Amino acid sequence: MLTKLLHASLLVADLGRARAFYEGVLGLTPSPSRPEMGFPGVWYEVGGAQVHLLCLPNPDPVTGRPAHGGRDRHTAFAVADWEGLKTALDAVGLAYTLSRSGRRALFVRDPDGNALELVEAA
């Protein structure tokens, strides 16, 4: 039986560009726990889980994906300062869509088209 999520892996084409988004916009800090794996990447600690960015060829098309990330596969994160996050996204001109459920959540895509759901923490 499953008991908890340990990590989510996201494919990225340009690690520097991806790090600028995940670190510069979302405020994540790289984890020193990533071993040498034979390809570039970075791990981030988020709560009790991790996000792994893997710099590998992406088999998925970026074009043709739904405009609203909630209609695509996505990874969801709790956000402590939801209004501050919106301000940060607006400041760098990143497009996002608000959750259609009415809760304080938004969907944004990283530079490689990976959809992220960012939900106000309870």
pLDDT computed for residue 34 by the predictor = 93
Neighbours of 89 (CB within 10 A): 17
Per the domain annotation, does 90 fall within a domain? yes
How far apart CA 13 and CA 114 sit, in angstroms, is 11
Q: Give 115-118 contacts, CB < 8 A, sequence gap 24+.
A: 115/65, 115/69, 115/70, 115/72, 115/73, 115/74, 115/75, 116/69, 116/74, 116/75, 116/76, 116/77, 117/69, 117/70, 117/74, 117/75, 117/76, 117/77, 118/76, 118/77, 118/79, 118/82, 118/85
Q: Listing from the earlier edge strand, what are the strands of the sheet with 96-98?
A: 74-79, 115-120, 105-109, 96-98
CA 34 and chain centroid, separation? 18
pTM for the whole structure:
0.91
Per the domain annotation, does 80 fall within a domain? yes
Per the domain annotation, does 14 fall within a domain? yes
Q: Is the predicted pLDDT of residue 110 greater than 90, yes or no?
A: yes
Per the domain annotation, does 1 fall within a domain? no
pLDDT higher at 36 or 58: 36
Per the domain annotation, does 107 fall within a domain? yes
How many domains does one find in the chain? 1
Write the pLDDT tens digit of every residue in 50-60. Answer: 999 999 988 78
The Cα-based distances of 25 to 15, 19, 83 in angstroms read 15, 9, 13
| CATH number of the domain to which 106 belongs | 3.10.180.10
Domain that includes residue 24, residue range: 7-57+64-120
